[in-house]
Structure 1
Amino acid sequence: MTVLLATDPARWREAASVWRSWAGAAGRWAADVRACAARLRSVWTGAAADAVAARLGRLLRRLDLFRLGCWAADQALSEFAAAVARARPRDDLSSAMAAAAEASRLLDELFLTSAAPPAIAPPACTASPAEVSRCWRALSPAQQDWLLVTEPGSIGSLDGVPAAARDRANRLLLDGLRIEGSLRDWLADGEGPRAYLLRIDPAGEGRAVVALGDPDRADHVVTQVPGMTADLASLGGELARARRLAVRAGELAPEEATSAVLWLGYDAPDFLGEASGRAAAQAGAPALRRFQDGLRATHEGRPARQTVLGHSYGSLVVGMAAARPGLAADSVVFVGSPGVGVDHARDLSVPPGEVWATTSVTDVIQWAAVSPRSLAEDVVVSQVWPAAAALAFGRPEDDLWFGGNPAGPAFGARTFASQAGAGHLGYWDEGGPALDALTNITLGRTDVIPR
């Protein structure tokens, strides 16, 4: 036990990085084999060519299985390093010992079994996350690996499949996609909580779901829904904000595990014209609800506290998801919101006292997203009483484009402070009151949040 407490988590993170690099090397080998196979098929036909193609196919499958094993080792070592880091300040070995046992089990199983086709039908995309989870758990490790290798696109996006398995499937899938931006760098990065790729879809502007820290083992999970213009190309900035929250949670509650999820699981509006309508939010809300159900279905041990955070147009997605009963969330947070689809906190199916909101005094959203009625009233006031024009147009409105202002006194949410200079994107700035408030809400420490 003394040895475990004395171990340096950085050494284990370095070991995890080595396994990630082996997965990358095997991916490059596989790409070379695929290119060679394609060239052969273009100039060679017949029985012998078919036999060679079959053998190359088996080699590619083995390389993919090897990569799955490398990523599994990376996951195990990364989570063990995080558990040791949490245990050291408190001399508490229980979580570290549990992580060590799990890591040892996973490492012992690596590369010892061959993939095998499942004897039962794989999980269907129409099944509920709970049904998907039961089906997945009924498969043997060899059958699970077969599905990860042969159907990474369907398994990687399936809510109800564990985060570790989805991450490996989606990393395989990512190899065949032409995606620009910083996503690949984030997945290879060894700084901060390990990234789990829970969905990747390049269609249109692209969709992606990335968890920083394993949500299936976390004590707290915050799902962050970004707003207008969010896409794969801009994912780096959104992930940086999510990581600040995850890192701050580790500072404020080092003994507890927190996973921060960036959920770009909907087609965010690109322009003001699109953002003036509810169509994108209406399409995204059911997917967000399903994702939250999946977090509940795959979580190990005591249920995590689940928080859903919506920023800008993303707050409308969250609001519409919470307007119907059954959202798997212990709290919802609205930041820099243009309205959330309802006029009062009581219209949201969230535990009492767990609707939170803030808007900085320098956030343009509170003036740019006023409702047509409020705008007309301000125009009338300014024309009838010109001296009152500054007051009419210079104060935040209670009625915004998509409903009541969640940060206003009439909405009924619990409001919290954000720095005056936050603007529209600065709520996650280090050292600011908003970041601490968001973190404490995630941790369930709502009694320490200044209003």
Structure 2
Amino acid sequence: MSVVTYHRLRATDPARWSAAALAWRRWAALTGALCGEFGPLVDRLRAAWSGAAADAAVTRLGTLRRRLVLFRLLCWRADQVLSELSAALSRARVLLDRARAAAGGAEPALDRPDLAGALRVAESADASATARLAELAALPVAPGERRRPDCTATPAQVRQWWDGLSPAERMWLLGNEPGTVAGLDGVPVADRDLANRLLLADRRDQLLRTGADAGKLRGLDRLAGRLESEGGPRAYLLGLDVGNDGTAVVAFGDPDRAANVLTHVPGMTSDLAGLDHELVRAERVAARATELGPATATSAVVWLGYDAPDFLQEAWSARQAEEGAVGLRRFQEGLRASHDGPAATQTVLGHSYGSLVVGKAATGALDADRVVFVGSPGVGADSVRELTVPADRVFASTSISDPIQYTAVSPGTAVRHLLPAPPPTGPADELWFGHNPGDERFGARVFSSQWDAGHLGYWDRGKPALDALARITLGGAP
């Protein structure tokens, strides 16, 4: 590994690495289009030709398609590695610029904290990228008879199984059995991303075959567009289910290589059709946290891994939150198991009905260092003492203009308070799902949100709520 120096880092342009990553992403997209032609081509060949020669031709086409799939996986892997390298070098350059500004534009002393941090970030990123790119030379090999994890395996056991495979065996599984890998908590995020991207076209075909509503199809297309986007941090697809309303898990930046990981759990009416709004919110926290704390990498994950209520009538029940809490606990356990290097600071944020999901999860073994409740109708607990997360690591906020704080006593009362203005008596202490976590008597650390945030404005740029969420994600005070 080459040593990163001040002069080399100053001459480095992170945008060039980002452009290289994008080029590989485009090659993957082109290869995907070519792979999509093979199914109709084989069907046409079979319809017009039969016999030994036809069988040989079909076999040859199958071999060619498998090679294209492998090439596509390698393109995405290069995209992942170079995207993360570019992001890390961008953070290093921010620290370098701070050191130069403090030195009046001159070359800063090597013992300055910002410069030392910049060189450390760049050197670590360089070493990681070099090692990961070296693995691309491995040709796929079918795994041996080693038993695969069953549905009872913990994420830690899944990770142990995955680590026991060679890079060549892992690549074979990704290319030939992506459905086996795509949803396995404990498998590294970068590998799950490859598997889920391979399955994306099949998921769209499934929607078309079943005559899904146009909104869900548009939502899936917007998700696919974000995965190919040229702007913002690289997106990782950790899970996708197009059944019912649709669920998805998407990360910005690789959480396995981040020091700070935020899991964002959305609330009522969240589904595949409207996923893009939740993606924007989580991405803004990750971006702001990176601005405030460039010395460490931050990743934000949108976890829509549960069936969120569609209507107020459904949202009166905690059933969907209780079911979601089980999946959220396993997902967080999986993030911990798949993480590389020192343990990350894991923060779980629940918004609206999502705060009930998080609250239900946090009454048990939720692998989270910090928990945040935003715009909550209650979290299924009357006090922070009922949660397994320490009281000084539980945060809550509800804007004075958020109508959610008036969901008290009964559905009829709540509906009247939601439409169109709050009652004159002020926010209720007791909400529909327990004591208001934004009330200091609940025991959480209450932080301020702008008065005009309403129910959805906690992620508005330039406002105090977003800064508070970013600082909490970084492990600090709001």
Query: Same fold per TM (> 0.5)?
Result: yes
Match of 1:397 among 428, 431, 438: 428
Structure 1 distance, partners of 2:71, 2:178, is 15
Q: Residue 367 of structure 2 aligns with which residue?
A: 328
| Amino acid paired to 2:264 | Q
Q: Residue 409 of structure 2 aligns with which residue?
A: 371
Q: Residue 58 of structure 1 aligns with which residue?
A: 63
Structure 2 distance, partners of 1:111, 1:57, is 22
| Amino acid paired to 2:131 | R
- For the 8 Å contact 2:138–2:167, the answer to whether it is kept is no
Structure 1 distance, partners of 2:49, 2:83, is 45
Relative to structure 2, which stretch is displaced further, 304-313 or 123-132? 123-132
- For the 8 Å contact 1:248–1:436, the answer to whether it is kept is yes
**CA distance 1:373–1:209, change in 2 (3 Å):** closer
Q: Residue 442 of structure 1 aligns with which residue?
A: 473
Q: Residue 145 of structure 2 aligns with which residue?
A: 119
- For the 8 Å contact 2:249–2:303, the answer to whether it is kept is yes
Say whether residues 1:346 and 2:351 are aligned partners: no
Matches within 5 A, 1:156-235: 156-178=182-204, 179-181=217-219, 182-235=222-275
Structure 1 distance, partners of 2:202, 2:425, is 51
Structure 1 distance, partners of 2:190, 2:423, is 53
| Amino acid paired to 2:121 | S
* Per-residue deviation, 1:365: 0.8
Structure 2 distance, partners of 1:118, 1:261, is 34
| Amino acid paired to 1:305 | T
- Partner deviation per Cα, 1:381-421 (whole Å, 9 max, x = no partner): xxxxxxxxx99753111111111111113211110000010
Corresponding residue SS for 1:110: helix
* Per-residue deviation, 1:111: 4.6
Say whether residues 1:422 and 2:422 are aligned partners: no
**CA distance 1:112–1:154, change in 2 (3 Å):** closer
| Amino acid paired to 1:445 | G
* Per-residue deviation, 1:112: 4.2
Corresponding residue SS for 2:230: coil
- For the 8 Å contact 1:292–1:328, the answer to whether it is kept is yes
| Amino acid paired to 1:420 | W
Q: CA RMSD in A?
A: 2.0
- For the 8 Å contact 1:371–1:402, the answer to whether it is kept is no
* Per-residue deviation, 1:50: 3.1
* Per-residue deviation, 1:142: 1.2
Structure 1 distance, partners of 2:193, 2:411, is 47
Query: Which structure 1 residue ranges, 5 or more long, are not aligned?
Result: 380-389
Q: Residue 441 of structure 2 aligns with which residue?
A: 410
Structure 2 distance, partners of 1:227, 1:45, is 55
Structure 2 distance, partners of 1:375, 1:229, is 21
Query: Which structure 2 residue ranges, 5 or more long, are not aligned?
Result: 96-113, 205-216
**CA distance 1:21–1:118, change in 2 (3 Å):** farther
* Per-residue deviation, 1:98: 2.1
Structure 2 distance, partners of 1:41, 1:275, is 52
Matches within 5 A, 1:277-296: 277-296=317-336
Relative to structure 2, which stretch is displaced further, 40-49 or 288-297? 40-49
Structure 1 distance, partners of 2:145, 2:8, is 44
Structure 1 distance, partners of 2:130, 2:423, is 65
- Equivalent pairs counted in the alignment come to 434
**CA distance 1:101–1:393, change in 2 (3 Å):** same
- For the 8 Å contact 1:66–1:111, the answer to whether it is kept is no
Matches within 5 A, 1:230-269: 230-269=270-309
- Partner deviation per Cα, 1:208-264 (whole Å, 9 max, x = no partner): 111101100101001000001111111111111111101100111011100010000
Percent identical:
56
* Per-residue deviation, 1:45: 4.0
Structure 1 distance, partners of 2:31, 2:137, is 14
Structure 1 distance, partners of 2:282, 2:124, is 27
Structure 1 distance, partners of 2:463, 2:234, is 25
Structure 2 distance, partners of 1:120, 1:219, is 33
TM-score, length basis structure 2: 0.87
Say whether residues 1:22 and 2:62 are aligned partners: no
* Per-residue deviation, 1:152: 1.3
Q: Residue 386 of structure 1 aligns with which residue?
A: none
Matches within 5 A, 1:1-150: 1=5, 2-88=7-93, 89=95, 90-91=114-115, 92-150=118-176
* Per-residue deviation, 1:282: 1.2
Structure 2 distance, partners of 1:8, 1:425, is 37
* Per-residue deviation, 1:76: 0.6
Structure 2 distance, partners of 1:50, 1:121, is 33
